[in-house]
């Protein structure tokens, strides 16, 4: 599939801020709004952005309507999600993918928004951006800077993905002595696992998979990657990128001997001869590099090189 790309954002563009899943903390919105304003964007807020219906930002209809209204407005050039949490799955059937196909826009988010990015790729072939949420409350300036570069097309190709100064040593496990080139797909592992058996599951031609998660015990990480394998998701995976598995540690009430998450992933991938690069700065962490879903990259033991811009140049 040749991917669809939205136009690069530029100062003066109008962008939307919506909550397709759980409601954001209003205090945490300040940093995201500041970032969008400093980029020179005008902001349109979703009507139900701050509404709370239990753990959801309004009803399914309200959240879908907010998203679809931004899709249908030709003046809106990008849509930024405020928070993940839970709820994106409940509105997938209501998203107006046809309108997005006819007028591609920049879409940004991660965590529960993994489901939206995957569905958008499946339905529209559009590259979305697995990147900072606008109400995360702990996003680093480094993360915002890299998000801005991706959505405005301000990268020089080939683009070697940068690492923040405080990044832990990258861990490479594998025998490949040459880089693997392919398109990226992935996101939050627990959300990807829920896609299996749905119309929006990963297609088997995915060659480079990126994974991250938060708050999942190692045995659950094992269960989810095994579930994906049984569903056929690893048939064409040639390389795996591991981001931050934040607080993915053994439960305090579990006395069973257990390996840590890095060992679980290492054992799984090496037994299937899939190279694995761990400790990359993306996921539920202050340093959350923006990954274009569907982007052509080259992955190897020392890092990742992006081979294309994932937005179209403005005329």
Alpha carbon of 164 to those of 21, 127, 131: distances in Å? 29, 24, 15
* Cα distance between residue 204 and residue 137, in whole Å: 36
- pLDDT score of 205: 73
Tens-digit pLDDT profile for residues 37-58? 999 999 999 999 999 999 999 9
Sign of CA dihedral 38, 43, 46, 52: positive
Asked about 284 being catalytic, the answer comes back as yes
Q: Is the pTM of this model over 0.95?
A: yes
- pLDDT score of 46: 98
Asked about 212 being catalytic, the answer comes back as yes
- pLDDT score of 70: 98
Is residue 158 reached through a cis peptide bond, with omega within 30 degrees of 0 on the bond before it? yes
* Cα distance between residue 87 and residue 22, in whole Å: 6
Asked about 160 being catalytic, the answer comes back as no
> Residue 150: what are its φ and ψ, rounded to 5°?
-65, -45
Catalytic residue among 22, 31, 88, 111: 111
What percentage of the chain exceeds 90 in pLDDT?
88
pLDDT bracket for residue 2 (50, 70, 90) = confident
Tens-digit pLDDT profile for residues 211-230? 999 999 999 999 999 999 99
Question: Is 210's pLDDT higher than 70?
Answer: yes
Catalytic residue among 143, 193, 212, 285: 212
Catalytic residue among 31, 284, 285, 308: 284
């Amino acid at each position: 599939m040749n991917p669809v790309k939205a136009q690069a954002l530029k100062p003066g563009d109008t962008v939307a801020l919506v909550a397709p899943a759980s409601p954001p903390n209003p205090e945490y919105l300040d940093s995201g709004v500041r970032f969008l304003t400093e980029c020179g964007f005008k902001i349109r807020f979703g009507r139900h952005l701050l509404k709370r219906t239990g753990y959801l930002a309004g009803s399914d209809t309200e959240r879908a309507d907010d998203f679809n209204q931004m899709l249908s407005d030709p003046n809106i050039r990008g849509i930024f999600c405020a928070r993940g949490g839970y709820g994106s799955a409940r509105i997938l059937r209501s998203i107006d993918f046809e309108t997005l196909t006819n007028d591609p826009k920049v879409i940004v988010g991660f965590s529960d928004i993994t489901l939206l990015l995957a569905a958008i790729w499946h339905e529209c072939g559009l590259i979305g951006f697995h990147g900072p949420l606008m109400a995360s409350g702990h996003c680093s300036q480094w993360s915002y800077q890299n998000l801005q570069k991706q959505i405005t097309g301000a990268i020089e190709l080939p683009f070697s993905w940068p690492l923040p100064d405080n990044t832990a040593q990258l861990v490479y496990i594998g025998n490949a002595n040459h880089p693997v080139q392919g398109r990226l797909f992935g996101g939050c592992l627990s959300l990807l696992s829920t896609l299996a058996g749905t119309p929006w599951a990963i297609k088997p031609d995915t060659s480079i998979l990126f994974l991250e998660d938060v708050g999942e015990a190692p045995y659950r990480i094992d269960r989810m990657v095994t579930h994906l394998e049984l569903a056929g998701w690893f048939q064409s995976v040639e390389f795996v990128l591991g981001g931050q598995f934040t607080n993915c540690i053994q439960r305090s009430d579990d006395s069973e001997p257990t390996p840590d998450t890095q060992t679980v992933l290492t054992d799984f991938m090496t037994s299937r001869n899939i190279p694995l690069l761990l400790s990359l700065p993306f996921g539920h962490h202050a340093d959350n590099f923006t990954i274009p879903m569907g982007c052509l990259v080259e992955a190897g033991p020392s890092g990742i090189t992006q081979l294309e811009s994932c937005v179209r140049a403005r005329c």
